[in-house]
């Protein structure tokens, strides 16, 4: 083991053997320094503090490295849809997966993201709280994914409204129908219609026309709808036929695909007769 004294001797060209007189190959001619000339090395208070600080940094780095390793493992976990559900959109689900793997709960996510999602405004997310919860890197991914999701939902919503408005004769008609449906349609069925409207496409058009048919079937309501939809066409199909909801949906989807408003009118009347007959 090399001591401070040994280092002093080595500087002068001595080895352990030269100090005890046993070396046969002496390097250098300078005599060794006597023991009394070597002072013990004692760290100053500043050096001791620096060493302690370095150790603390090393310990913190080790903890961070272990956490990073745990985080890497966690990031491989797919979204637990049983706990989190699904948005029906890859961008939305990716955001939830990041939050899940950062240790957030569905309740945490809802509290932090709900207002922004419903308002369609990512700036409503408390970014400072999000960063504190998941770190800057993950927060950036979550915010970017949320903005993407909101943009896609806005475009989808605009497309759905265009279809719905066209199915009932315009935006004003739809506003009137939507207001009436809140009390005029049983909640269970209204919930079903909402789901169909959210799905978009033929389902949204079907739901809107179902609500229109129910509204027009109430004697106290003033019939609404555009001219093309309410003009009778007895040549399209037997005037007395009745359609079930499933049949109405299937025929409406076909008519909508063709843009056949005359057929849509007849189908709607047939559904009204079917509803009156209890089918």
At 97, list the tokens: 């997966």
pLDDT band at 186 (very low <50, low <70, confident <90, very high): very high
DSSP 29: S
- Give the DSSP per-residue string, 109-134: HHHHHHHHHHHT-GGGS-HHHHHHHH
What average pLDDT is seen over the chain?
75
Which pLDDT score, from 0 to 100, does residue 73 have?
44
38 in Cβ contact with 4 (< 8 Å)? yes
Per-residue confidence (pLDDT) for residue 278, from 0 to 100: 81
DSSP type of residue 181: H
User: Over 80: is that where the pLDDT of 189 sits?
Assistant: yes
Lowest mean pLDDT among 11-15, 62-66, 154-158, 267-271: 11-15
Return the pLDDT at 220: 84
| Token reading at 80 | 């637990």
Let me know how long the chain is. Answer: 279
Q: Helices 136-168 and 106-119 sit at what angle, rounded to 10 degrees?
A: 50
Tokens of 229: 């939809």
Rounding to the nearest 10 degrees, give the CA dihedral for residues 122, 128, 129, 130: 50
pLDDT band at 202 (very low <50, low <70, confident <90, very high): confident
pLDDT of 68: 53
For residue range 5-60, what is the model confidence (pLDDT) as tens digits?
444 434 444 444 444 444 444 334 444 444 444 445 566 766 766 766 676 666 56
Q: CA 32, CA 30: separation in Å to the nearest integer?
A: 7
Least confident of 9-13, 95-99, 150-154, 235-239: 9-13
pLDDT per residue over 115-141, tens digit each?
A: 999 999 999 999 999 999 999 989 999
Packed helices 171-184 and 187-199: angle between N→C axes, nearest 10 degrees: 150
Query: Quick one: which of 205, 276, 216 has its CA closest to 242?
Result: 276
Ordered alpha helix ranges (H), the chain: 4-11, 16-20, 45-74, 81-84, 90-101, 106-119, 127-134, 136-168, 171-184, 187-199, 201-216, 227-230, 245-258, 261-276
pLDDT digits over 143-179, tens only?
A: 999 999 999 889 999 999 999 999 898 999 999 999 9
Of residues 253 and 189, which shows the higher confidence score? Answer: 189
Q: What is the DSSP letter of 223?
A: P
- The average pLDDT across 229-236 equals 42
**Which residues, at least 6 apart from 30, have a Cβ–Cβ distance to it below 8 Å?**
12, 13, 14
Q: Where does residue 123 fall: left (phi above 0), alpha (psi -120 to 50 degrees), or beta otherwise?
A: alpha
């Amino acid at each position: 083991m090399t001591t401070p004294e040994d280092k002093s001797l080595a500087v002068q060209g001595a080895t352990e053997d030269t100090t005890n007189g046993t070396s046969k190959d002496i390097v250098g001619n300078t005599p060794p320094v006597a023991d009394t000339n070597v002072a013990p090395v004692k760290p100053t208070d500043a050096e001791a503090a620096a060493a302690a600080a370095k150790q603390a940094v090393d310990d913190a780095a080790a903890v961070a490295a272990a956490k990073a390793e745990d985080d890497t493992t966690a990031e491989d976990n797919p979204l637990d849809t049983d706990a989190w559900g699904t948005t029906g959109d890859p961008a939305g689900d990716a955001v939830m997966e990041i939050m899940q793997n950062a240790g957030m709960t569905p309740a945490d996510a809802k509290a932090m993201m709900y207002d922004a999602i419903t308002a369609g405004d990512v700036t409503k997310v408390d970014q400072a709280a999000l960063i504190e919860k998941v770190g800057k890197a993950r927060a950036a991914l979550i915010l970017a994914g949320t903005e993407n999701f909101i943009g896609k939902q806005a475009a989808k919503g605009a497309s759905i409204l265009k279809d719905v408005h066209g199915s009932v004769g315009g935006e004003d008609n739809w506003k009137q129908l939507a207001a009436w449906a809140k009390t005029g349609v049983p909640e269970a069925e209204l919930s079903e219609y909402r789901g169909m409207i959210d799905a978009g496409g033929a389902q949204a058009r079907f739901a809107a026309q179902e609500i229109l048919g129910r509204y027009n079937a109430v004697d106290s309501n003033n019939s609404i709808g555009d001219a093309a939809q309410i003009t009778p066409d007895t040549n399209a199909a037997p005037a007395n036929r009745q359609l079930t909801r499933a049949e109405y949906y299937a025929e409406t989807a076909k008519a909508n695909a063709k843009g056949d408003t005359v057929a849509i009118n007849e189908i709607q009347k047939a559904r009204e007769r079917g509803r009156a007959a209890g089918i």
